[in-house]
Structure formats: C-alpha cells, structure tokens
Amino acid sequence: MGPKTSKYIENLAGKAKAAQVGEDVHLMTSAGGLVTSRSASEIPVSLLTSGVVAGLLGGCAIGKASGFPSVITLDVGGTSADVGVAPDGVLRMKHLLDTRIGDYHAMVPMAEVDTIGAGGGSIAVVDDGGMFRVGPGSAGAVPGPACYGHGGTEPTSTDAMVMMGWLREKSFLSGTMEVKPELAREAIQTHIADKLDTPLDDAAMGIFKILAHSMTEAISLHSVRKGYDPRDFSLIAEGGAGPLFAWQIADQLGIPRVIVPGHPGITSAVGLLTTDIRYEEPTTVWTSSADPNIELLQEQIERLSALAVAQLEKDGVAAEHISLERSVDCRYVGQGYELRVAAPDGDVDDVWVKTVAEAFHDVHGRTYSQRFDDKPVQLINVRVTGVGAVPHVQIADIAVGTADSSGAIKTTTQALFWQDETSAPQWVDTPVYERSLLLANNEIDGPAIVEQFDSTTIIGMNQHATVDAVGHIIIERNPA
Amino acid sequence: MSKALMPTTGVSLAGESTRTWNDVEVDPITLRVIGGALQSMAKEMAQVLYRMAYSSLIRESEDLGAGIFDINGRELCESDSTPMHCGSIPAYIKGVNRRLAGTYKPGDVVLHNHPYHGAAHSPDYGVIIPIFWQGEHIGFAGCTGHVSDVGGNFPGLCMDVVDVWAEGKLMDSMKIYEAGVRNDYLIQHILDNVRTPEQNRGDLEALIACSRIGEKRFTELLEKYGLDTVMSAGERWMDYSESMLRKKIREIPDGSYTAPIGYLDDDGKNRGEPLKVAVRVQVEGEDILIDLTGSNSQVPTAFNVPFEGSVLPVAVSAIRTILLDEDLTEEFVPQNDGCFRPVKAYAPEGTIFNPDFPASCFARFSQVNRVFDSINLALAPVLPDHAIAGSSAALCAIAYSGIAPDGESYWVYIEINEGSYGGRNGKDGMDAVDALMANTRNNPIEELELNHAMRALRYELRDEAPAPGKWRGGIGSVRKWLMETDTFLGSEADNRSDPPAGALGGHNGVSGSFTRNAGTDREEVLYSKVTQETIRSGETLEIKLPSGGGFGNPYERDPFQVLSDVWDEYLTDDDARRDYGVVVNTDSWTVDEDATAELRARSAA
C-alpha cells in the first residue's frame, strides 16, 4: 500500500505542477492537519481515514459559521455512517493503541471518529430467530435498494424512506434518476411486514428507527459515555443521507439542534479547506508530577518545537504563519492507558507541571467518573504540533428574506410521520421545499421535506426550522 | 462441607426464571433497540474496567468480564472479552446470593472471590452491585478481573500449595459498601494482606467504577422503557440466543463423540505423573452434554478446577464458539443466559474438574483450555468446517516477582505467553496468538522494559518447522528475557509431554519449553509448572510456546503454499520434501512440478 500511495501522490503532485494548479498539492492526514505532497509521500500511512476526519473538520467549520462551535457530526452515505464529536470545535485524538484499521494497529496520530455499518443501502431482515435487524449488510450501489429497480429485492433504509414519502420518485439527483415506490413497498411487505405480522407502515418506520438507533448508540458511545453532555452540542447533518436521519437522532439524544449545511454532500471537501498544515512531533519523557524532571521536559519541548518549525519552514511556511501547540499524555502512576491533555505555553516549571496534572485529573474524572487528586500523575509523552496557517474557505451569507417560507414550497405530498417515540405512524400532508429558494430568516414548521440536488432534509413533527444568515437550516424541537 | 452429588446428566449455567415483573408484549422495534442498548452497556463496562485498571492482566490482556444480571444471576448481557470470564459471573452471583439474598440495599457493593462458591478462581475479584428500581431489588451489575496478587503462599501465581487457604485470601460475599457507606477498615484489611496493595487498590476502584456504570446505564434504560418492557425484552433476547444455538446443535448428528485422551504434564509437585483429561461430547437433539468422566482424580496442588466458575463457562464457550462462529454465522447472537441453556457439563466429584473442598484450585486454566481443545477434536470428524486441530491448549502464565529497591515492597509481574492455533479446514493455524479460551493480548516489550528490571533479548516466531497438514499448524512464540535483578519465578503452563494433536491426517504440533540460560554451559530445562524458582540477576529465561497441530493430509497441501513457507524460512527444502512431498528447486526457488507429482504419486501408492 505504502509505495503505491507514494507513487500516486508524486504523480498527482507532478501533474498538478505541470498544469500550474496552485503551488503544491496538500493532503489531509488522519490527525486532521494538512501536509504537503512531499511529506505525504514520505509517510503515506498518515493519510489513513483522512476523508472521514475531513468530514468532522467540515462539520466544525459549519458549526462555527452558524455560531455553535461544539459539534457532533453525522455523515451518512450509502453503506456507512461516520460519527465525530468535537467539543468547542476541537478534535479529540485517539490513544495510539486505538488507532486500528480493521485488525491492524496503524500507530499514527488519528482524530477520534467512528464508522458504523449504517447507511441508505443498509438491508433490513427478519432473521431465522425472528429478530428484526437493519444493517450492517448493505445492498451497495449494485443492485442497490429495491426501489432502484436494478434487481435488488431486499428492503433497505432507502426503500423505507421512499415508501414513507420522504424520498419522492423524482427527488433523486433532482429527478435525473427515477425510483419505483411499488418495488420498495413490495420488498418491505414480503421481507418484513409479513414475517413480523405487522402493518406495512410500522415496518417501514421500524427500518428507519432501528437504523437511526444504531447511529444514536454510536454517537452516545463517543459523547455521553466519554463524559460529554449532548445538550451542549449541535448535530451537523452531513452526506447525502445525514439530513434524513439527523432530526430523529437529535430528538433521541436530546441534542438541542440540527444544523444542515448548504451542501451536505460535500462537507468533507469543505473540511479540507478549513484546516492548516500540521506536524505533530512526539517524544516519550516518562516523568512524574511528584518528582518532575523539569529540565528534561524543557529540553524536549524545545527540541520538538524546533523540529516542528523546521518541517514547516521546509514546506515554505512563513514565520509569521507558524504557531505551536503542546499536549501531554498522562496517566496515574501504575496505570497502563494514557489520556491526552493540552499543556500551557511558556517555560516549564512547577506551575506548568501542576497545570498539566490538574488538567489530567479533570479529564480522568470526566472520562471514568473518578479522579484521584492525591495520586501522582505520570507524564508519558509530550507532543508539540507545529501549525502553519493557510487561507481558509469562507462560508458566505445568502440572500435575506422574512419568516415566511411559502415561496420555497414547490408541492405538498403525503408522508409518514409520528408524534413521538411511542406513537403510531400517520400519513400527513407535508410541504416539500426547494432548498435553493430558501432565504435567510425563513421559518419552516415540521413536518416538512426540503429537497436539493445532493440531499433531502427531513423536519419532524413537533420540530421547526429556521434558515440562518449563511443558509444553514437549523432544526429545533418545538417547546413543549 | 457436604454437597449434593451432581446428576450424571450434568448441570448448566442457566439461571432460574423467577419473575419479579410482568411479562409484556414488546414490539419488534423496541426489542431491537433494547437489545442494542444491552450490548453496548456491557461493552462500555468492559472499556471502563480495562482503561482504568492497574493489573496488566486486566488492562493489557483484557482478563476481565462484565455484564448485567437479574436477581437470580441470569445473564441479560455480557461483554465479549476473555471467553473464560463469559458466564462466570452468574456463578459469583449465586454464591453471593446464598449469603446475602434479602439483605441488599441501594448503594451496596459486594466483593467476592470464593472458588467453591462461584468464583472462577480466587485471583479473579468479582464486584457485584445490586440494582434497585422504585425501591425494589431487580438485578445486578457485576464484573470480574484478575488482580496481581491475592496474598497466598507465593507472589502472583501458585502451584505447590496445600489447600484453598494457602492459595490466597478468600472473600466470601463481603459488602465493601453497605447502603452507600464505604467500609474502609475492611478494604484496608484486604489490601494489607496482599503483596501489591497499590495495584489492587486501583483495580478495586476500577471494578467498582465498572459495575457502577452498568448500574447507571441499566437504570437509565428502565427509566426510558419501564421495568416490564426492559425485562420482557431481556427474556426475548435470551430465548433468541437459546433458539439460535439450539438450531445449530440440531444440525450435528446425534451421537457420542470422544476426544483422544489428553495428558497434562503433571500436577506441579509429583513430577513425571501425567494427568488424564477425558472428554466426551454427547449430542442429543438440541442438547449437548460435556462429560468429563474418566478424567484424573483431584491433585494435592493448586492444579484443580472450580466446576461452576470455570468448567461450565468453558463448556458453554467452546460450543458457542464452534457453532456460532461470527465468521460463519450471519447474525450476531448475543452472549446471555440463553447460550447457557442447551449446554450441560458433568464431572465426577473428587476429580480435577470437580474437586472436593478445600483442595486448592488456583491454577485451572491449562486444564479447562485442554477441555476446549478436546471438544474441538471430538467434534472435528462431524464438524470439519467448524472444528480445528489441537492448539496450544494450556495457559502459559509466568509470574515474575521480587523485592522492590525500597527493600520493603514487592513487585509482581504476570505475563501470559502466547502459543498458536491448530490448522482449520481452509486456513492455516494462526501464529503466535493465545488460543481458545485465553483470548488475551500480549504485553508490549516496551511496557515490560519500562516497568520491570527485565530486558527482552528475543521475541519472535519459533525456529522449528510448523506442524505439517493440508492446512499447517500455527507457529508458537519464543521469548528470551534477561533478568536485571534477582527474580522469583512461578509458572502455570503445560504442553511439554503431550503436544497439540493433529486432526484428520495432520501431524501433531511442537511442545513448549522453559530454559534457564539457554545456549550457555549452565543451560537448564525447567518444568512447565514451577513454584518459587529463582533466576539471578544476569541470567536469562527462554520461553517457547507450543506450535499447533496440522489439519488434513500434508500431501494434499498446495505446493505453492509449501514453497511460500520455504521462502519465509518456516520450512527447509528438506522439510518440504519429507513432510509434504514437495520438491523445491533450490537454484530457482520454485516448485519442481514433475518431481513433486512423482513423489506424491509414489507415496500415495
């Protein structure tokens, strides 16, 4: 893999240069920073999972543009869903031992993102034991969902949403691809409703809810269970299918709002344009807060800082665009698993060590709901990250309108919705909005469907939405 | 202590189903959602435990278990970590209930490790927390983890000890918190009587945090769906797992399948007296009995096995692993009480698998892992696609210990050395991984060298050729450690006299060994089980783990795969010719097709 990737990058950079496209090709790393093509081809392993991380970064930029920096990102595609959590818009890094790709330890810096097998193509089954399951099996693009009419007979979550009226016959890719609702209906009837002896509507709702719940579990594992309260976050709906699921997931987790960016399908690309060149330089120090080796810490931080700066200078970053970030991996003496904390700038002294130890007690308390303030803290690794600022993409304002959004309604359709988690589904007249006609300040009452080329957004019953200055749709629950 | 004789038809781990709630209909969606929530809470419990833990066995080897149980100890969910721990907690709860049932209060935390009352063995501390709902006791959150030392005759591990009191301090259903009040004196007493008080203190806190998070998550689930719905959903999931397992058992032809008799090296004291392991698997309709009749009488050392806490979990685990292999089954069948129901085990009283109190039963892993291996070998003829050849079916645990530089405290380091798997139909055995029940991770060399006065001179695959087969056996590991201080050694290992068995025509594997000062004029081979041996500063210990047995006739192995093993220097060209009938041209390093065909035809004739 390595040599192939290196070669590919060298070719790409060479061709880009020949075509005079910018100065150099930059690539995203799994740690969420940019590297130059030179550095990427030297260490291709650093690129693993970078696309997923870009989605998280894109979500951070979108949250920030709407004024909500703490984000949970949900990027749903055809076969999988990526989940990321960034408190205050800051990525959390994985412990090195958790940087696995399949069964292999990658052992390179990686931002915390999780991928689960749940997407538009996830197949619903009633298994031999009578259990209703959705995913992780996927119909993929071929044969795809039953409603595509390409020979798929098993019902997928896309079929459920077609049946529920959320995805209309001509809504796929702005009508350039037609789907067949009767095939979706038939697949769900035969494979689910008949087997469970349940009404067709309930079966379709069930497919959606079960899949949404597996995403909820994944988000919960990365937020609540790491000590973060979802009520402090906004959920960014990304990918073609993210805006179909986000409304329900936010409701289940008590996340106060969903933010649907202008173009959910290209959020990862936005992420690529919102980050800086980053080089992380780690070293092991192995010293304790009870008897810290101040000299060693100072010396190593200076050495790492020089290394990071040298890397950036090699990439041609001007001194005024360079900044440094420090962090330390800590654990209680005797433990075997570290947690990372940010470390202050300035010279290392007793106060510096105390600040780091204090920060560790906090993180340990939040992560495991226990802290041991009397125990010495072991400082295992220090890291200095060199940041070379590059210009970022700006999310522009859109045209301003009023609360009245009726101008964007293109039609009304019958769609299946439910009041809350335990109530039965019902068919309701639902307005369908054209995304490109929405203006800032527009307000939408749920249930509603918003269609655009690369995605469809659902606003549930008991929810309403507003369009903010940069065109993001902000979905919130109606006050009780 | 008297006990009722076990029926020869065996007993199972399944709990009694006394209901304390109303059974209600649960719609398929809610059922699915509650099932997912149960699984992820067990997983979260295990994560908290191994990340917070101090004992390297818990945090590096993931030697732990965690889950949620009803008031009778019926398992609703359990983390999939070390199989040996899966299913041992219900027995802990039974043991605890026998003393404490009716006395639980919200805020209680119970510590238990009594091997004759459900514990897997005494170093596996169990922490059990009763869960209350609307003032009523409705279940338990519980977990177990292997701590570094329990204050027995010897540091870390023990073998040659007289009885269960000599192996470690016993804790039988002790409330270390009562109604939310911590009993600091009791905890102090426990820690004052072990060699690694600081580590055990940290592990105890981690175990408590783990069970508390389980209690919290389960209570949240009750708040959301109510007791009746959650417990009824739990019932459905148990029935589901049971029916999925029974369906697979029905696919095995009825019959009585006997494994070749296995022999364990010795009991750690009476050298040269091998111990018999007799395993018979009886399949009748959708029920399975693991019958250990004919196995050795109990021994006067720690090399006996607690029946409830260790034999039953291994029986269940082996059957579940063989039949519901996640790679071969589409559906994920969750671990819960339903998995216990179709599987029973029987071992006569007074044998190593069902010893009479107060025989010590500290060192039980090698025996039960051999039971797992034998179940595999017994079923191989009828389940050739599921069963595998013999693996390094023991546990190679070594406890290194010594006096710390302060001259007052001990350091104890327990390392699990990994062997390898036997070949399986369609694939070679896995190299250098722990086998069967011992699903433990290795400890990184860096961790070893940073924390202890030991240095790694060698850590790699063994030099000896793997066991020939159509699918060859896995290759065991070899370590060579240099001691930088005087070190005591205790070990619990096996597979010296009776190497992993080949299956369906595959060859037997390669035995393991411990050698002090290998390659010097002071070289000395040690027994597999040692008690308080000493390795002086500057001396070395070489640890070789068994290589697994081959599966199927090696003459049917794809010649290219044989060549590939020659390229990798696992085999010499002589090995290839002799064991596989493959002639390798050593000029071009290719297979001589004609010579190979001729050689193979000749030997087939």
Residue window 447-506, chain B: list those with CB within 8 Å of chain A: 447, 450
Reply yes or no on whether the pLDDT at B85 is more than 80. Answer: no
pLDDT at B1: 39
Which of B51, B240, B447 faces A368 most closely, judged by CB atoms? B51
Is B454 within 8 Å of B448 (Cβ atoms)?
Answer: yes
Is A466 within 8 Å of A427 (Cβ atoms)?
Answer: no
Taking the complete model, does pTM exceed 0.90, yes or no?
no
Residues 6+ apart with CB under 8 A from A191: A124, A125, A126, A153, A154, A155
For chain A, the average pLDDT equals: 91
Side-chain half-sphere exposure of B190, counting CA atoms within 13 A: 26
pLDDT at B16: 79
- Greater confidence (B334 vs B480) lies with B480
**Closest by alpha carbon to A285, among A298, A273, A275, A266?**
A298
**Closest by alpha carbon to B603, among B586, B588, B582?**
B582
Residues B556-573: tens digit of each pLDDT: 999 999 999 999 999 999
CB contact under 8 A, A220 and B40: yes
Quote the CA–CA distance of A100 and A79 in Å, as a whole number: 20
Q: Within 10 A of B124 (CB to CB), how many other CB atoms are there?
A: 27
Contacts of B31 in chain A (CB under 8 A): 131-132
Q: Label residue A33 by pLDDT band (50, 70, 90).
A: confident
- Greater confidence (A426 vs A179) lies with A426
CB contact under 8 A, B59 and A217: no
- φ/ψ of A132, rounded to 5, equals -85, 115
Reply yes or no on whether the pLDDT at B82 is more than 70. Answer: no
Q: Which of A112, A223, A363, A368 to mutate to test the interface with B (most CBs of B within 10 A)?
A: A368
Burial class (CB in 10 A: 0-12, 13-18, 19+), B277: buried
Q: Say yes or no: B41 contacts chain A, CB-CB below 8 A.
A: no
Q: Say yes or no: A130 contacts chain B, CB-CB below 8 A.
A: yes
Which of A133, A220, A370 faces B32 most closely, judged by CB atoms? A133
Mean pLDDT across A252-257: 92
Please tell me the least confidently modeled range out of A435-439, B404-408, B524-528, B590-594: B404-408
Strands A426-434 and A409-417: antiparallel
Reply yes or no on whether the pLDDT at B2 is more than 50. Answer: no
Q: Say yes or no: A102 contacts chain B, CB-CB below 8 A.
A: no
pLDDT at B205: 93
Please tell me the least confidently modeled range out of A353-357, B268-272, B296-300, B385-389: B385-389
Structure token pair of residue B599: 């050689």
Q: Which of A188, A330, A335 to mutate to test the interface with B (most CBs of B within 10 A)?
A: A335
Which residue of A lies nearest to B413 if distances are taken between CA atoms?
A: A334
Mean pLDDT across B290-315: 94
Quote the CA–CA distance of A101 and A92 in Å, as a whole number: 18
Q: Label residue B64 by pLDDT band (50, 70, 90).
A: confident
Residues A183-209: tens digit of each pLDDT: 999 999 999 999 999 999 999 999 999
Residues A97-114: tens digit of each pLDDT: 778 777 777 878 888 888
Distance from CA of B409 to the nearest CA of A (A): 15
pLDDT at B83: 62
Residue window 123-142, chain B: list those with CB within 8 Å of chain A: none
Contacts of A372 in chain B (CB under 8 A): 205
Contacts of B212 in chain A (CB under 8 A): 369
CB contact under 8 A, A368 and B29: no
Is B464 within 8 Å of B508 (Cβ atoms)?
Answer: no
pLDDT at A335: 77
Q: Say yes or no: A7 contacts chain B, CB-CB below 8 A.
A: no
Reply yes or no on whether the pLDDT at A341 is more than 50. Answer: yes
CB contact under 8 A, B213 and A209: no
Mean pLDDT across A35-53: 88
Please tell me the least confidently modeled range out of A166-180, B97-111, B221-235, B468-482: A166-180
Contacts of A206 in chain B (CB under 8 A): 28-29, 32
For chain B, the average pLDDT equals: 91
- Greater confidence (B140 vs A273) lies with B140
CB contact under 8 A, B59 and A369: no
Quote the CA–CA distance of B204 and B147 in Å, as a whole number: 9
CA distance to A238, B428, B509, B550, B577, per residue, from B559 (Å): 51, 14, 20, 16, 10
Residue whose token pair is 């085990």: B345
Distance from CA of B561 to the nearest CA of A (A): 23
Structure token pair of residue B187: 């905890």
Which residue of B lies nearest to A206 if distances are taken between CA atoms?
A: B29
Which residue of B lies nearest to A380 if distances are taken between CA atoms?
A: B450
Residues B370-406: tens digit of each pLDDT: 999 999 999 988 998 888 999 998 889 999 999 888 8
CB contact under 8 A, B50 and A337: yes
Distance from CA of B301 to the nearest CA of A (A): 32
Contacts of B447 in chain A (CB under 8 A): 336
Q: Label residue B162 by pLDDT band (50, 70, 90).
A: very high
Side-chain half-sphere exposure of A42, counting CA atoms within 13 A: 6
Contacts of A225 in chain B (CB under 8 A): 44
Mean pLDDT across B56-72: 82
Please tell me the least confidently modeled range out of B111-125, B190-204, B246-260, B315-329: B315-329
pLDDT at A175: 66
Distance from CA of A69 to the nearest CA of B (A): 27
Residue window 207-266, chain B: list those with CB within 8 Å of chain A: 209, 212-213, 240, 243-244, 247
- φ/ψ of A373, rounded to 5, equals -65, -20
* H or E segment to which residue A117 belongs: none
CB contact under 8 A, A335 and B202: yes
Burial class (CB in 10 A: 0-12, 13-18, 19+), A93: buried
Which residue of A lies nearest to B242 if distances are taken between CA atoms?
A: A129
Exposed e or buried b per residue across A112-146, where buried means at least 16 C-beta atoms within 10 angstroms of its C-beta: bbeebebbbbbbbbbeebebbbbbebbbeeeebbb
CA distance to A369, A429, B138, B149, B246, per residue, from B177 (Å): 18, 58, 19, 22, 41
Reply yes or no on whether the pLDDT at A293 is more than 90. Answer: yes
Reply yes or no on whether the pLDDT at B3 is more than 60. Answer: no
Contacts of B33 in chain A (CB under 8 A): 209-210, 213
Q: Within 10 A of B266 (CB to CB), how many other CB atoms are there?
A: 21
Residues 6+ apart with CB under 8 A from B311: B292, B305, B345, B347, B353, B354, B368, B371
Residues B460-519: tens digit of each pLDDT: 999 999 999 999 999 999 999 999 999 999 999 998 999 999 999 999 999 999 999 999
